[in-house]
Amino acid sequence: MLENTKESSAALANELRNVVNQAEALLDAIGQDKDEAIDALRGRVYESLDTAKARLADIEDQASRATRRAAVAAESWVRENPWTAVAIGASVGLVIGALISSRGANTPGDYEDVDEE
């Protein structure tokens, strides 16, 4: 679960980074125009991009700290309750195994011989 959260945070951060990079590329492409209104707009957009980059870095830092805290808390709980953790793990494994085996049993025709004509 922690890995899933970490991967989701990383994917979100990468996507936001891509948006910022594309916006910068667009601004660079528009940079050839010398109109004053566009220059003012470009300045505001660059300021917004700088703010977005700073916020993105902050979000990444917060997500990293939250992930580390959750990992430490989980490890601490498992160390304090090893048999409970083993029982929970075994129960989850049994449930997943039962779901997989029942799913395979509910798909008739998968293993039946079919006569070809």
Q: How far is CA 11 from CA 16, 22, 47, 67, 114, in A?
A: 9, 16, 24, 15, 45
Q: Cα(1)–Cα(67) distance, rounded to whole angstroms?
A: 10
The string of pLDDT tens digits covering residues 14-26 is 777 777 777 777 7
User: Looking at the predicted structure, is the pLDDT value of residue 58 above 70?
Assistant: yes
Give the start-to-end residue ranges of the domains of the chain: 2-105
81-97 pLDDT per residue, tens: 999 999 999 999 999 99
92/80 Cα distance (integer angstroms): 20
How large is the average pLDDT for residues 2-6? 62
Report pTM.
0.47
Q: Looking up tokens 């979000």, which residue turns up?
A: 59
